[in-house]
Structure 1
């Protein structure tokens, strides 16, 4: 054996192990894992990072440009009754296959799955750009969602492969800046194209960008490839678990999207799929923890409270962020009478503040070797910002609403990057792909909640607040939150004022509901503990020998006595600093390690 491991029996259930990272280039005997420290970053690294950043830009641009153009899309395709599916279909498809994308990346390698994701996004963009009715557009958004979710998951996984956690703050900040650039130009671009040309170019413009991304990935993303035949690789995938999470996610999302619009929240067609979907997700995690040899979501990802807090924080943060980003343009168009272009410009306070705050969150975690304060401060600011958004009215001065946006965006940005540290710090680097797949799933699944909860609140509140004479313009089952916007400028003064006030009051309720999610996020952040950041990467997936095959062995939960070379264990005041791992029934890897 090429490393020294110290073993000390503490009782019949737990053993304490000190492992020294191997300097060799080969995989270790335990599950094919080996760590390398301080990887060199040459041209290959930067070209791969450029390909990943281009993919992030592509996905973020598509997500941000649709909201300002949605009223025009709804009007052109007569989609008042199903507009919510334009956003929900995308997030539903993304969330449903995200866990599988992580498993496929570990089985077939990073490059093929990234190419698959970009190709699906390309095909979905064609379908959306040439849609002749709402059903075709929703189908295209579904295919786009499969690609977009894969793009985000693979980007997170690839960066985690190549950059140690201790140095990753800067690179997370750079990708956040790329995302913010796309988020900043997306809304005004969506408004300009839909208003002056055609909304179809929102999707057609993706085609050359996707082609460039595919070329970059093909040319430069040449990482190692797992060994074995296709059939051997297919047998390693947890198909049952992936089918269960996909079906459960779809059921819950369909119920959330239909509730309050196509059917009441108390109707069986809403409650049954919602309950079954949520129960299915719970069953999925139970099955993964007890019945699957190589699970899609290894249970040890959730075996410590800091990682659990990180995943929960990710979920709550994404619900709030999606609702704010998606529905702030609605406020500007409905309450201020802004054009799609102006509504996009009015969101600059969010777009141009989130990125610098995200950069500060990531870099400060690296410089201070602390990530808990950033999460706490971020949630405090986001809670205050979301609360004051509920004060927005038709006559709110420009300086006030811009200030509200900036304060809220600082909180959003700080959490955006700093939440990844508590997820990854307690886990071994060999779990990067699974952890990032679950992280992206949590974020994407939460986006569905953000959109659908917002839609349900606006629909229900507007139906009780809008003037009866105005509501008669819309047949039953139509969501008026977007369908009503194109009609507002044409209304006579008294009714227009009443409609705008109704939108402001309804959105105020939405922000108050989001405030509850902020409090939940703040509470979960209090569960986090400071864990030392990793200084190494997983040699199975770094650039040490690109384009070579690696032997992927089943993960071993506890080391066998034959594989352990024992030496006396020196008592430590702080075991974590020396790489101590607690092996046991509930903590197969790292137990919580407090600085």
Structure 2
């Protein structure tokens, strides 16, 4: 969890400097999207594979893939290679993030689980809080590549620690018997469906028009593959990736839906607030990282308090409810940000949102785990995390599209107003750091900054409905008592 928190939040600070260095600012969001697509697509598969092959092998494999992706990212000299390497990192991250929460469910009963889930998220928060500053310092004082090199020794330590210390029984059966249980067909169909749909959502409005053949074909074939997946899962495999029966349980279904919108509203601020600081406020990378520090610090405090509360009272539903409302209260006012910001207002909004995040992140997962059988615990956990990642991909795709389209129109308008500076305006569009380095007239600088601000405000406005939908989706959660005895989660 320390490793995941380190590079996930550091990415939010270094991806703009990385894109500037590669002269590809218009494709900067793909540094995030490439990672998130593979993370999202593979999480349900990891959960089922760990049921068949074991938790520790799945987690060690995840560490290995993260290491490989980090090395390639650190040595990338083109945007295409960086995006591909980030996708490899996502393959590793999917396994590590899923297995942390699955193993906690293996080891502890539900009533005691809140404390350890809170500690796991607390470790993530400590790492995230430090990495926003560390990432800014690296981008400003050294090179963004150093941020990826840092992952390498931590990946090695994490893999050794997991393999050496975690004692979780392996699932029963010989290797041949286990391989026969693996749902290769369902895995292939689900992976195809998710990659096609996520590519369509990531391409739409940015790389291609929404009505282009590339976007429409990916979306259509992705939806067809999703329908085939559910038909296949209901009829063919002995061990389906997602047992459809768990969707009939109210809390499980609401937890899945809640995680979709939760992922949407928690990842966006970590990306767009540092981007606002860099593009609009012309801050340094270090300062842009400090802008999201209140979010991580308040999450650290609230997630630990929520874990202790759940352990002592057995109540978790109220934490989700209060957390969802705090996130609405903290994220909605971001639409008021502009060039003349009030630092106290920016920090206060993030404290509210971070507190809501900490109260919700593990209690919402516990909602699903408490309402399903032990044998479905790993599946429910991995699907919750999949839905969270899917929500993050959706909102990054949607908000980046809204932001990118608005900025593109503004820059085209500005180029028409100042035809003598068309080349410089185009260069600033691809490398924001040039906006104060090309000796442009002050009035052009002002309108270029205003163009970036209009794009970000459009993105913040588009974020508001997602926060409202999160609060509505968790309102119907019923309280299911937490068990004090450990469920049998490994067959």
Shorter-chain TM-score bucket reads: over 0.9
Structure 1 residue 216 and structure 2 residue 161: aligned?
A: yes
Asked if the contact 1:459/1:479 (under 8 Å) is kept, the reply is no
Deviation of the 1:360 alpha carbon: 2.7
Deviation of the 1:278 alpha carbon: 3.6
Structure 1 residue 495 and structure 2 residue 440: aligned?
A: no
Q: Partner of 1:371 in structure 2?
A: 316
Counterpart pick for 1:535 among 484, 487, 491: 484
Structure 1 188/540 Cα, relative in aligned 2: closer, same or farther at 3 Å?
closer
Deviation of the 1:78 alpha carbon: 3.0
Three-state SS of the structure 1 residue aligned to 2:486 is strand
Q: Deviations over 1:346-404 (max 9, x none)?
A: 21111111221222333323333222222221121211222111111111221111111
Distance 1:192 1:286 in 2: 51
Counterpart pick for 1:403 among 335, 344, 348: 348
Higher strand share: 1
Q: Partner of 1:109 in structure 2?
A: 54
Deviation of the 1:290 alpha carbon: 4.2
Q: Partner of 1:567 in structure 2?
A: none
Structure 1 164/219 Cα, relative in aligned 2: closer, same or farther at 3 Å?
same
Asked if the contact 2:46/2:95 (under 8 Å) is kept, the reply is yes
Structure 1 residue 518 and structure 2 residue 476: aligned?
A: no
Q: Deviations over 1:557-585 (max 9, x none)?
A: xxxxxxxxxxxxxxxxxxxxxxxxxxxxx
Structure 1 107/471 Cα, relative in aligned 2: closer, same or farther at 3 Å?
farther
Structure 1 310/506 Cα, relative in aligned 2: closer, same or farther at 3 Å?
same
Structure 1 residue 442 and structure 2 residue 391: aligned?
A: no
Q: Partner of 2:128 in structure 1?
A: 183
Q: Partner of 1:151 in structure 2?
A: 96
Deviation of the 1:122 alpha carbon: 0.8
Q: Partner of 1:124 in structure 2?
A: 69
Structure 1 136/540 Cα, relative in aligned 2: closer, same or farther at 3 Å?
same
Note the 1:454-493 alignment, pairs <5 A.
Answer: 454-466=399-411, 467-468=414-415, 469=418, 473=424, 480=429, 483-490=430-437, 491-493=440-442
Q: Partner of 1:257 in structure 2?
A: 202
Counterpart pick for 1:314 among 252, 256, 259: 259
Note the 1:248-287 alignment, pairs <5 A.
Answer: 248-287=193-232
Distance 1:404 1:133 in 2: 37
Higher helix share: 2
Asked if the contact 2:55/2:168 (under 8 Å) is kept, the reply is yes
Distance 1:459 1:340 in 2: 21
Distance 1:221 1:323 in 2: 34
Distance 1:492 1:60 in 2: 41
Deviation of the 1:67 alpha carbon: 2.1
Asked if the contact 2:16/2:275 (under 8 Å) is kept, the reply is no
Relative to the length of structure 2, the TM-score reads 0.93
Q: Partner of 1:52 in structure 2?
A: none
Structure 2 unaligned blocks of 5 or more:
none
The structure whose Rg is larger is 1
Three-state SS of the structure 2 residue aligned to 1:394 is coil
Q: Partner of 1:289 in structure 2?
A: 234
Structure 1 residue 79 and structure 2 residue 27: aligned?
A: no
Distance 1:479 1:275 in 2: 36
Q: Partner of 1:578 in structure 2?
A: none
Structure 1 125/493 Cα, relative in aligned 2: closer, same or farther at 3 Å?
same
RMSD: 2.0
Distance 1:427 1:263 in 2: 42
Structure 1 183/437 Cα, relative in aligned 2: closer, same or farther at 3 Å?
same
Deviation of the 1:406 alpha carbon: 1.1
Relative to the length of structure 1, the TM-score reads 0.78
Q: Deviations over 1:310-332 (max 9, x none)?
A: 11111101011111111110111
Three-state SS of the structure 2 residue aligned to 1:419 is helix
Deviation of the 1:505 alpha carbon: 2.9
Structure 1 unaligned blocks of 5 or more:
1-55, 542-551, 553-595
Structure 1 452/521 Cα, relative in aligned 2: closer, same or farther at 3 Å?
same
Asked if the contact 1:252/1:273 (under 8 Å) is kept, the reply is yes
